[in-house]
Amino acid sequence: MSSSEALLDVSNLDVTLHTERATVRASRAVTYSVAAGRTLAIVGESGSGKTILNLAPLGLLPPGVTADITGEVRFDGKLVLGDGVNQIASHRGKDIGVIFQDPLSALNPARRIGSQIMEVAEQHLGMTARAASAHAAELLKMVGIPDPVARLSQYPHELSGGMRQRVVIAAAIAAEPKLLIADEPTTALDVTVQAQIISLLRQLQKRIGMAIVLISHDIGVVAGMADAIAVMYAGAIVEIGSADDVLVQPSHPYTRGLLASVPRLDTPLGAPFRGLPGLPPDLSRPLKGCAFEERCSVALEACGSARPPLQPVAGTHAAACFANVRAALAATR
Amino acid sequence: MNTTRRTFLISSGLLTTALVSGIELPAFAAGDATTLRIALNRQTGNLDPTVYKAIWAVQSMIFEPLVRYGQGGKLEPALATSWSVSEDGKALAFKLREGVTFSDGTPWNAEALKWNLDRWIGKEDHSWLLVSAAYDRLQIVGPYEVVLHLKNPVPSALAELTTVRPVRFLSPKAVAADGTFKEAVGTGPWKVVRNDAERTELVRNDGYWGEKPAFEAVSLVVIPNARSRVDALRAGQIDITGGVFVAALSPQDARTLEASGLAVETATGTDTLVLGFNPERPILQDPRVREAVSLCLDRAAICEKLLKGFATPTMNLFPSVIPDSGRRLPVPKRDVARAKALLEEAGWKGAGVRSKDGTPLKLELVISEDAVAGSRALGEVIQNFVREAGIDVDLRLVDHVSRHDDIPQLKYDLALFITAGAPYDPHSSLTTYFLSTYRTGTDGKMFMDAAKLDPLVNAALTATEGTRAAAYQAFYDWLEQNHAIAPIYHATRLWAHGKRVSNFSIPATEYEMPHEGIKLVAG
Amino acid sequence: MLKLVYKRFIGAMMLIVIASVFCFLLIAAFPGNVALVIAEQRSATVSIEIVHQVEEEYGLKDPILVRYGRWLGDTLRGDLGRSLRTGEPVGPALLRRAAPTFVLILAGATVALTIGLGFSLLGALWPGGMVDRGVRALALVGASMPKFFIAALLVYAFGVLLKVLPTYGFDGPSSWILPALAIGIVPGALISRVTRVALESAMSRPYVTTALAKGMSRGRILVRDAVPNVLPVVVNAFGIHFAFMVQAAIVIEPIFAWPGVASYFVEAARFRDYQVLQSSLLLFSMFFILVNFVVDLIVLTIDPKQRRPRSA
Ligand SMILES: Nc1ncnc2c1ncn2[C@@H]1O[C@H](COP(=O)(O)OP(=O)(O)O)[C@@H](O)[C@H]1O
Ligand SMILES: [Mg+2]
């Protein structure tokens, strides 16, 4: 998977979270990369480790949580994490912007939105307050907020949820980062606003030329925008590949389940929602076999005792499923 | 929002800087070599000598009497150079000191004297002074010679004229057109330059007729808190503290100051702490009960433990420094057995709290810390002492005002009294505390017996020079024989001073400030 | 917003009226005859006749309602009467004595605020560090330590031992330091604890994660993001301690021999000088109510949601 022109190259990343109550293996042996200017979508059910995977290496852990991180992260060709190096945090805000799931709480309620955007430009672009203010107004305009100059002096509570997420985005891209991590940027918003935000992200990507890691639990949301998709389950990537490959030829039963649960335009209203049955495993317990085994309709005997490795399906498309391997074997026979 | 917060931060920063930069360092601690600093426990107040408000000792630094009360009650010339009392005791002739002026330049003479007397003598408010009550007229013989005529002889008249108010002399020019007091101008060694809630500042009266002070100014600083006065003295920020009415020094504080190397000056007290019995209470009308209570008290222990040795145990109404204070009585050892025997004899029987005809031997002791400092602890000690003999004493704590309500109305069984002390005694305490015909508002009576005691009091008060000592002794003897009161101790007079002060001496009365003869030395 | 301010204002005014009734009743209902105290000023030994005469003169035997009405009327007209003890007019005396009390409370407030904000910020910057633990201990001990004891310690250290600061008197800035510390240290420590806890909770809010993601340093986040959010807490805590400083002044002023309103009150209390007591008590209550009113207003203004409700 790793390629020389990759902007972000993550290999073998293991994150173990320690809280007062438990120790959680939030991601294991995760390897992926994002090419400059491209979008990688990371999808998976809530709790599958998408957020931790992306934010723990940046040092953005939830309060009260510490993490052991092993593996390697290269950013822009440089080793920024692993082998005794840990510099990734210094890229925060400057080369790497982050958008959070909940725009309502991501903004400081006691500060004007202008200053919350301006400080990024002041800090990373060395702008004066005046220049940063102009820059912030421009950014607000760019993210589609009308009357930007007046908005600068408003407080978050004076804006709607969608507007607030636009503000968060404006702050995240204020220093023109090379990589934008968007953690469920639309989950907390109305459906109509969701589409607007996604299209805004696409526009911005074009304009600034940044790579995006788009995190979502809803594969439907990312489908239209992603160049590549990684599917996460229980802290590990179970399938990864180009968007076309993953969407058209889902090779892991979990991916298929996710796709099947996306409501389609032609689904009659009121039809039973076909979500995945069952619950994901508890990550604080050790796992012997495939994490998906319990919920899997095609599980084999081997699935209970050994963990299936990520195996190429075709080209860059890979999946971690014994059933797949067998099917492939059967096909070749 | 941002700007207001910034302004706030900046201004509080500025305030802090201002506070810090305003600090001028230790010049104050040393004190300047020309100013004596004395602590006051309260604001001096209105210095008008005819108003009962100011701190006496401060007034006494400014205003002078005709005759001065010297050590042991010896009368000394002041604004009068000589005096004589007529044969019948009804005319007091004074020769006034010549060449004296008030500090505003007004001459001191018979006219100034008359102006002053007219402000108070013979008036109702001041009739507690026998000389005022008996005042007849003033005869001006010459510019420096007057005779004070009384309606009846007042043997204590001269002693009364040594007191601070209302008798001392104010400049006739120191009042407004309507005669109301304007400023404190006297003939004394000090002039007032400031008098407010913080301090009273005096400067030397360079035109003073007597021996001029060795230093230029006195700063009397108000420090209401006793603990703070002790600290200020230890820190070298005041020079003198003490005096019952100026800034009383507790025995404990005196020991503390001694221990930290400061000079504590002592003098025998001129007053007496007395346990008085309400003569209207049937239980207490039996002298045996009174004697029993008195015998239960361990006076030596009280002086040693409660007063840290700063008191003298006594059985006398007055200490020997008071004129005509009588024969010294031996102080008995505590004798509970004898007390019990007396109570048995008086019909008070039984284990625990004694009783008689169903009445328990219960008494109430009124305690007022405001009136008698340290009396609460003393009350508790008394309570314990008498309990052993089967007397149950209840303590009732009251404040200044309530005491003054209860005591004159005789709403108590036992109460603690302090005699008036020099220069008022012996005549003043006799009148106030023992004469049944004299109605006191606030002080109450130590003992009363209209039939037997009043004649003795009157005889003592009116006795002439030759017979006076004997007349007083007859009164003291009656008290002793009837166990009418239980004197406990004479509290030692306490003053403390810092290292800058040399040649310190305690004045004859608590109504005067130590300043005479004092020298300020460096360090 | 304006309506809210108006409501609070009316509330404060009503409280003052109630306070005036209490101030009067509390003092007037004290046991003991005030007339005696007044009479004592006229003569060295007081006779019952003089006492009755005083009662007559001062109307002390009138029904309490009549006396309240008279007092309220006089007070509203700005006539606070004359001190029973010294005879001086109470109004000018209170005015003259306002300066030391004002300085004491203001300097104490500065100390309290400096300690409160300074130490809580330091504590939040290095959680569990020396400052953090020190202030926690100080707040714990301080809360149970009487003010006079703190004052005594300060006086002993800086006056008696080091001899660098005046132990008494109201005599320029150097004389302000010990009283200000004595009155401000404990509130400062308590404010710092409250603020510290609030800061800690603010620092675990999502907007802090956002700020970290924007590349801001912890220190900067603390000041720019956390502090604005805890300001209402700080102002409230500060307001309470500020208002209670009047009470503390009653202890502190006599210790440092400051001729302020509080020591006036203490003196008056000893001598049942009820003219002074009623007026100064009313003044204290008004200060207390006013401070609370102002604190309310400030909290209203610093909370953007209250100040600028989302209208159209
Ligand atoms: N604040 C937290 N405290 C303890 N465990 C957490 C916390 N946040 C996340 N985790 C653990 O990490 C796992 C991954 O969480 P997360 O990355 O937030 O999932 P996702 O973003 O995919 O919904 C969760 O299953 C949970 O067990
Ligand atoms: Mg998440």
Range of the domain at C279: 98-307
The reply to whether A282 touches chain C by the CB within 8 Å rule is: no
Residue C83 lies in a domain: no
Average confidence score pLDDT of chain B: 89
Rounded to an integer, what distance in angstroms lies between the CA atom of residue B172 and that of residue B177?
Answer: 11
The CA distance from C211 to the nearest CA of chain A, in Å, is: 8
* A107 touches C: beta carbon within 8 Å: yes
Q: How far is CA A78 from the centre of its chain?
A: 21
Report pLDDT for B29: 45
Mean pLDDT (whole number) for A58-80: 90
Q: Tell me how far apart the alpha carbons of residues B367 and B247 are, in angstroms, rounded to a whole number.
A: 21
Residues B407, B276: Cα–Cα separation, whole Å: 11
φ, ψ for residue B242 (rounded to 5)? Answer: 140, -170
Q: Which residues contact B416 (CB under 8 A, 6 or more apart)?
A: B273, B274, B275, B276, B365, B366, B367, B371, B372, B375, B378, B379
pLDDT of residue B2: 43
Decide the pairing of beta strands B392-397 and B362-367. Answer: parallel
Q: Which residues in chain B touch residue C159, judged by CB atoms under 8 angstroms apart?
A: 231-232, 234-235, 237
Could you say which of B24, B223, B441 has the minimum Cβ distance to residue C168?
B223
Using CB atoms, pick whichever of C169, C231, C266 lies closest to residue B221: C169
Q: What is the pLDDT of residue C72?
A: 86
B91, two tokens: 């005319």
Q: Which domain holds residue A145?
A: 96-174
The label of the residue with tokens 């600028």 reads C308
Nearest residue (by CA) to ligand 1, atom 4, is A19
Looking at the structure, tell me whether residues C106 and C64 fall in a common domain: no
The CATH code of domain B67-174 reads 3.40.190.10
pLDDT in tens, C239-248: 988 888 888 9
Instruction: Confirm whether A144 is domain-assigned.
Output: yes
A116 in any annotated domain:
yes
The set of chains that have 3 or more CB pairs under 8 A with B is A, C
Instruction: For residue C91, tell me if it sits in a domain.
Output: no
Q: Residues B258-271: pLDDT tens digits? A: 999 999 999 999 99
At residue C49, the pLDDT reads: 67
Domain match, C187 and C41 both: no
B27 — pLDDT class (breaks 50, 70, 90): very low
pLDDT of residue C32: 58
**Stretch B506-518: mean pLDDT:** 93
Instruction: Determine the pLDDT at residue B19.
Output: 45
Question: Is residue C93, in this structure, part of any structural domain at all?
Answer: no
Facing residue for A93 by CB, picked from C203, C214, C310: C214
Question: Which residue has 């009390």 as its token pair?
Answer: C101
Q: What is the pLDDT of residues B369-404, one digit of tens each?
A: 877 878 899 999 999 999 999 999 999 988 766 676
Cβ proximity of B521 and B311 under 8 Å: no
* Chain centre distance of CA C163: 29
CATH 3.40.309.10, applies to B5-47+188-268+493-520 = no
pLDDT score recorded for residue C198: 93
Quick one: C8 and C47 in the same domain? yes
Nearest residue to A137 (alpha-carbon basis) of A129, A149, A146, A125: A149
Question: What is the per-residue pLDDT across A267-306, written as a single tens digit (0 to 9) for each?
Answer: 555 544 456 777 788 877 877 888 888 888 888 888 888 8
| Residue A320 placed within a domain | no
CA of C148 to the centre of ligand 1 (A): 53
Interchain contact, A93 vs C225, CB within 8 Å: no
Contact C205, A85 (CB under 8 A): no
Query: Which of the listed residues A16, A19, A45, A51 should we mutate to test ligand 1's pocket, taking the one with most ligand atoms within 8 A of CB?
Result: A51
Alpha helical stretches, state H, B388-438: 400-406, 427-434
User: Residue B20: which residues within 8 A CB-CB, separation 6 or more?
Assistant: none
* C84 domain-assigned: no
Report C:168-227 residues touching A (Cβ under 8 A): 203-207, 209-216, 224-225
Sheet strands (E) in C133-240: none
Contact B441 C164 (CB under 8 A): no
8 Å CB contact of C166 and B237? yes
SS (H, E, C) B158-223: HHHCCCCCCCCCCCCCCECCCCCECCCCCCCCEEEEEECCCEEEEEECCCCCCCCCCCCEEEEEEC
Alpha helices in chain A (DSSP H): 50-55, 103-106, 113-125, 129-142, 148-152, 161-172, 191-208, 219-223, 243-248, 253-260, 322-332
Rounded to an integer, what distance in angstroms lies between the CA atom of residue A12 and that of residue A23? 19
- Whether C144 has its CB under 8 Å from any CB of chain B: the answer is no
Q: Which ligand number lies closest to the CA of residue A183?
A: 2
Six token digits for residue B483: 């166990």
How far is Cα A186 from Cα A184, in angstroms, rounded to an integer? Answer: 6
Structure tokens at B368: 């007022």
Nearest CB neighbour to B228, from listed C51, C256, C270:
C256
Decide: B403 and B352 in contact? Cβ < 8 Å: no
Residue C99, amino acid: A
The ligand 1 site (C-beta within 6 Å) comprises: A 17, 19, 24, 26, 44, 46-52, 62, 65, 283
C65: alpha, beta or left? (left if phi > 0; alpha if psi -120 to 50): alpha
Q: Which atom of ligand 1 is nearest to the CA of A50?
A: 22
Number of domains observed in the structure of chain C: 2
What tens digit of pLDDT does each residue of B449-489 get? 989 999 999 999 988 888 999 999 999 999 999 999 999 99
| Residue of minimum CA distance from atom 1 in ligand 1 | A62
Which residue type is seen at A174? Answer: A
User: CB-based contacts of A59: which residues, under 8 Å, 6+ apart?
Assistant: A88, A89, A92, C212
Q: Which residues contact C120 (CB under 8 A, 6 or more apart)?
A: C135, C191, C192, C193, C195, C196, C199
CA angle C19, C23, C26 (to 5 degrees): 130
Phi, psi of A25 (to 5 degrees): -85, 90
- Does C20 map to a domain? yes
% of residues, chain A, pLDDT over 90? 47
Choice among B48-52, B437-441, C67-71, C303-307 with the minimum mean pLDDT: B437-441
Ligand that lies nearest to the alpha carbon of residue A42, given by its number in the listed order: 1
Structural domain includes residue C87: no
Q: What is the CATH code of the structural domain delimited by B273-491? A: 3.10.105.10
What is the DSSP-derived secondary structure letter of residue B352? S
Same domain, C57 and C124: no
CA distance B95 to B147: 9
Q: Ligand 2: distance of its center to the CA of A179 in Å?
A: 18
Which tokens is B94 given? 């004074």
Give a yes or no: residue C145 inside a domain: yes
Q: State whether C197 and C144 are in the same domain.
A: yes
Q: Is the CB of B440 inside 8 Å of chain C's CB atoms?
A: yes
For residues B272 and B312, what is the distance between their CA atoms, to the nearest angstrom? 9
Residue spans in chain B of domains classed CATH 3.40.190.10: 5-47+188-268+493-520, 67-174
Q: State the span(s) of chain B assigned CATH 3.10.105.10.
A: 273-491
Same domain, C105 and C23: no
From chain A, the residues in CB contact with B1 under 8 A are 112
Q: What region, left, alpha or beta, does residue B45 occupy, with left being phi > 0 and alpha being psi -120 to 50 degrees?
A: left
Condensed to tens digits (0 to 9), the pLDDT of residues A143-183 reads 889 999 999 999 999 998 889 989 999 999 999 999 999 99
- Cβ burial B115-141 (10 Å sphere, 16+ → b, else e): bbbebbbbeebbbbbbbbbbbeebeee
- Which one is predicted more confidently, B416 or C85? B416
Any domain includes A330: no
Torsion of CA B27, B30, B34, B38, to 10 degrees: 110
Per-chain mean pLDDT for chain A: 87
Q: Which helix (H) or strand (E) holds A39?
A: strand A39-43
Burial of C120: CB neighbours in 10 Å, binned 0-12, 13-18, 19+: buried
For chain A, how many structural domains are there in total?
1
Output the pLDDT for position A333: 60
Q: How far is CA A245 from its chain centroid?
A: 19
Which tokens go with A268?
């009659």
Q: Which of A19, A45, A52 to mutate to test the pocket of ligand 1 (most atoms within 8 A of CB)?
A: A52
Amino acid at C280: S
Subunits next to A (3 or more Cβ pairs <8 Å) are: B, C
Cα A47 to ligand 2 centroid, rounded to whole Å: 7
In a domain, C85, yes or no: no
Same domain, C21 and C162: no
Read off the pLDDT of residues B264-316 as tens digits, 9 standing for 90 and up.
999 999 999 999 999 889 999 999 999 999 999 999 999 999 999 999 999 99
Query: Measured in Å, how far apart are chain A's first and last C-alpha atoms?
Result: 28
Which tokens hold the place of A115? 């200053």
Which residues are within 8 A (CB) of C264 and not within 5 positions of it... i.e. 6 or more apart? B197, C93, C94, C97, C276, C280
Mean pLDDT rounded to a whole number for chain C: 85
Per the domain annotation, does A121 fall within a domain? yes
DSSP C75-132: HHTT---B-TTT--BHHHHHHHHHHHHHHHHHHHHHHHHHHHHHHHHHHHHSTTSHHH
Q: Could you tell me which of B143, B144, B123, B140 has the C-alpha nearest to residue B132?
A: B123
Contact criterion met (CB < 8 Å) for A124 and C215: yes
How many angstroms separate the CA of residue C3 from the nearest CA in chain A? Answer: 20
The rounded distance, in Å, linking the Cα atoms of B59 and A101 is: 82
The answer to whether A144 faces chain C, any CB pair under 8 Å, is no
Contacts of residue C59, defined as CB under 8 A and 6 or more positions apart, other chains included, come to C66, C67, C70
